[in-house]
Amino acid sequence: MIQIKDLNFAYPRQKALFNNLSIHLEAGSITGLLGKNGAGKSTLLKLITGPLRAQSGEVSVLEHDPRKREVSMLSDVFLVPEEFSFPAITIKDYEKACSVFYPKFDEEMLNRVLNEFELSSDSNLQRLSYGQKKKFLIAFAISTRCRLLVLDEPTNGLDIPSKALFRKVLAGSLDENQLVIISTHQVKDVENLIDKIIILDNGKVIFKQTISEISQRVCFVSGTSDDIDDAIYCEEVPGGYRLMKPNDNVETEVDIELLFNAVTKGKTIE
């Protein structure tokens, strides 16, 4: 679905952000694009969806070149940017105005998700809080049923119950022909949601594995200072340590935050 080969990109008068970056992603997963601030996550998402153009390299999205911004691609790709702006109209009017551009738009799904997010279709978009606007945009994005959904920091601005709701709604609204890319630096927010992790650092993909591959290779446990020696990576927490250890036939939940810190500090998982 997404094929990036030897991508090079730099903002004007700045050093290169990506040097020969290559990524391959197929449909049927929710992929977490993780990275520190300034790692290039948002830029990569814009290069994939079309608002930005790479200086060189190949980018293929749904067998289209996103640089051309062809309608056949745009009608099957939806980007939820971190910052957005809405006109001063009601949710109902916005839906009427914009949904027609997405041939697979599912109005029933929109109403269901809006209901779950406790948003009324008569609300004026400009009078909503940032978090409510974001929830509406996520609801709209899901309802387009686009094959590629790209969410840039979707949980920023959401309160704690909304973050849980976001995970529930997203997980329950997708089918196997869709690919969702979620970029975030708040790794805890996407735990139990993503099934593939890509970690970006200094313009390079330094890690790309599925959650099941990670679970097979490492386990995440709590321990004391006596357990540190066996660990690939550990972090001190109140009451002891969080440890990432080679898997010895114990399948544990992936601690994405610990994994992220381990990988960005140069630890490898094989």
Partner 1 sequence: MIMQTTNSFSLQRFFMLFRQSFRINKKIIGITVAGFFGIVFILLFLFQSKSDFTHWDNNDYMGTFIFLFFILGIVYSSLSFPDFRSKEKSIAYLMLPASASEKYIFEFVTRIVAFVLLMPLLFWLTANIEGAVIHHWVPGLEDYKFSFGKALDKFYSVGGKTVWDTLSIILGCLFIFLAAFTGASHFSKSPLMKTLFTFSLLCGGSFLYVYLLSKGLNIDQYNLPDDRILFISNGHEEAKLFTLAASVINISLLAISWFRLKEKEA
Q: Phi and psi dihedrals of 119, rounded to 5? A: -115, 135
Task: Show the site string, 8-27: x = touches partner 1 by CB under 8 A, - = not.
Answer: --------------------
Contact set for partner 1, span 156-185 (CB under 8 A): none
For partner 1, give the closer residue by CB, 43 or 264.
43
DSSP 58-109: EEEETTB-GGG--HHHHTTEEEE-SS----SSBHHHHHHHHGGG-TT--HHH
Binding segment (CB under 8 A) for partner 1, from list 14-22, 89-97, 107-115, 222-230: 89-97
Establish if 72 lies at the interface with partner 1 (CB under 8 A): yes
Establish if 154 lies at the interface with partner 1 (CB under 8 A): no
- Compute the distance between CA of residue 128 and CA of residue 245 in angstroms, rounded to an integer: 45
- Compute the distance between CA of residue 79 and CA of residue 86 in angstroms, rounded to an integer: 15
For partner 1, give the closer residue by CB, 123 or 261.
123
**Considering only residues 26, 58, 70, 253, which one is a binding residue for partner 1 as defined by CB under 8 A?**
70
Answer for the pair 142, 80: CB distance below 8 angstroms, yes or no: no
For partner 1, give the closer residue by CB, 83 or 248.
83
Binding segment (CB under 8 A) for partner 1, from list 1-9, 14-22, 74-82, 110-118: 74-82
**Considering only residues 38, 55, 84, 236, which one is a binding residue for partner 1 as defined by CB under 8 A?**
84
3-state helix, strand, coil in the chain (%, to 5): 35, 30, 35
3-state secondary structure of 57: strand
Contact set for partner 1, span 39-58 (CB under 8 A): 46, 49-53
Neighbours of 215 (CB within 10 A): 17
Task: Show the site string, 98-127: x = touches partner 1 by CB under 8 A, - = not.
Answer: x-xxxx------------------------
**In whole angstroms, how close is the CB of 50 to partner 1 at the nearest point?**
6
Establish if 97 lies at the interface with partner 1 (CB under 8 A): yes
For partner 1, give the closer residue by CB, 24 or 92.
92
**Considering only residues 2, 17, 59, 77, which one is a binding residue for partner 1 as defined by CB under 8 A?**
77
Residue 153: closest CA among 99, 84, 60: 84
Residue 263: closest CA among 250, 249, 239, 244: 244
Establish if 78 lies at the interface with partner 1 (CB under 8 A): yes
* CA angle (245, 248, 252) in 5-degree steps: 65
**Residues in CB range of 80: below 8 A, 6 or more apart:** 134, 137, 138, 141, 149, 150, 151, 152, 154
Rg (Cα) of the chain, in Å, rounded?
20
**In whole angstroms, how close is the CB of 51 to partner 1 at the nearest point?**
4
- Compute the distance between CA of residue 147 and CA of residue 76 in angstroms, rounded to an integer: 5
**In whole angstroms, how close is the CB of 26 to partner 1 at the nearest point?**
22
Which residues are at the interface with partner 1 (CB under 8 A)? 46, 49-53, 69-72, 74-75, 77-79, 81, 83-85, 87-89, 93-94, 96-98, 100-103
